[in-house]
């Protein structure tokens, strides 16, 4: 399928799927619900601040009240300070059903804790049609425990762009026409959680969680969503008012957004200086040649 034909097909799907484009500017009471944790997740400061905590009894997590099919989602996070080894804090989009579902879609930010003074590992991945194994990992150019920083997922029919403080760190492109699955038909919720992964998270599980440092707490603020919200009830898509692409472009620039030359230069800078793992370069994992999407531009 040509890229133009594929775009028209996706655009038609949006109109037919009863989507509504909305902008949410982050009151957690309105936008999310604590999903699990038995009191370890809390919303306070009149809905402006949220915390998730982990101790030896339980972690915690929240999910968005809405599902989205394409959008830009931003949240500010301040990660667990000090000795956070063994902990994982997440911010991700996921379709319904378990990760083992053969049709599962997911877009991941995961923050792997470390010993005091050692850098967090920022882990990214993309799942489409149940297929993941597209990991890229980074160390950050700042201490993510000292202040709030903004982490963003921009997901449109042609790109998934991961951003940190509005600096792109990764661009996963739609090469579905070349046989590389891309998440583009299933709505997804946003999730975040903190949990114990001492068996693998820090240096392959060599460093265990020090429960004397618990509770481990991450904080969230300024959850902003500019997205197409999925509704199962009848309606028409205001993502494309009057089915006009011109109107779509003027109201939802993210839907057509791609990186310009300056953005690519910033991404290459991050990848050159701070990327610590790229599945595309793992010759031991792929001795017969790189995955197809790694050979495409």
What DSSP designation does 223 have?
A: E
Which of 110, 118, 257, 293 is an active site residue?
A: 110
Q: 149-155 and 136-138 as β-strands: parallel, antiparallel, unpaired?
A: unpaired
- The structure's pTM equals 0.90
Q: Could you give the CA distance from residue 184 to residue 216 in angstroms, rounded to a whole number?
A: 35
Is 199 an annotated catalytic residue? no
CA dihedral 22, 28, 31, 37 (to 10 degrees): 150
Own/partner pairs, 242-251, CB within 8 angstroms, 24+ separation: 243/15, 245/11, 248/11, 251/21
Q: Annotated catalytic residue: which of 33, 106, 118, 135?
A: 106
Compute the 3-state secondary structure of the chain and give helix, strand, coil in percent, each to the nearest 5. Answer: 20, 40, 40
User: Is residue 208 a contact partner of residue 170, using CB atoms and an 8 Å limit?
Assistant: no
Domains and CATH numbers, the chain: 3-295 (2.60.120.200)
- The pLDDT tens digits for 168-195 are 999 999 999 999 999 999 999 999 999 9
> Does 110 qualify as catalytic in the annotation?
yes
pLDDT by residue for the chain (297 residues), tens only, comes to 455 555 545 544 444 444 556 666 679 999 999 999 999 999 999 999 999 999 999 999 999 999 999 999 999 999 999 999 999 999 999 999 888 888 999 999 999 999 999 999 999 999 999 999 999 999 999 999 999 999 999 999 999 999 999 999 999 999 999 999 999 999 999 999 999 998 888 888 888 999 999 999 999 999 999 999 887 663 333 354 444 455 555 567 899 999 999 999 999 999 999 999 999 999 999 999 999 999 997
């Amino acid at each position: 399928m040509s890229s133009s034909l594929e775009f028209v097909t996706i655009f038609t799907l949006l109109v037919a799927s009863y989507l509504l484009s909305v902008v949410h500017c982050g009151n957690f009471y309105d936008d999310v619900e604590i999903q699990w944790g038995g009191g370890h997740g809390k919303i306070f400061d009149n809905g402006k601040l949220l915390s998730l905590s982990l101790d030896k009894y339980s972690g915690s997590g929240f999910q968005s009240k809405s599902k989205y099919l394409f959008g830009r989602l931003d949240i500010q996070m301040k990660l667990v300070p000090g000795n956070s080894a063994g902990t994982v804090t997440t911010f991700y989009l996921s379709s319904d059903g378990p990760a083992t579902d053969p049709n599962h879609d997911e877009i991941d930010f995961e923050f792997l804790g470390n010993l005091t003074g050692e850098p967090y590992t920022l882990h990214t991945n993309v799942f489409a049609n149940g297929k993941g194994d597209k990991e890229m990992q980074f160390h950050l150019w700042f201490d993510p425990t000292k202040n709030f920083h903004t982490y963003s997922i921009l997901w449109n029919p042609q790109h998934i762009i991961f951003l940190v403080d509005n600096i792109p760190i990764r661009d996963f492109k739609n090469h579905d026409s070349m046989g590389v699955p891309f998440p583009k038909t299933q709505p997804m919720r946003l999730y975040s959680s903190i949990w114990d992964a001492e068996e693998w998270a820090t240096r392959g599980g060599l460093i265990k969680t020090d429960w004397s440092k618990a509770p481990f707490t991450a904080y969230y603020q300024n959850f902003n969503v500019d997205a197409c919200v999925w509704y199962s009830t009848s309606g028409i898509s205001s993502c494309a008012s009057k089915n006009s692409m011109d109107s779509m472009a003027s109201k939802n620039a993210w839907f057509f957004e791609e990186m310009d030359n300056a953005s690519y230069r910033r991404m290459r800078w991050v990848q050159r200086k701070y990327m610590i793992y790229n599945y595309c370069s793992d010759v031991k994992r792929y001795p017969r040649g790189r995955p197809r999407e790694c050979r495409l531009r």
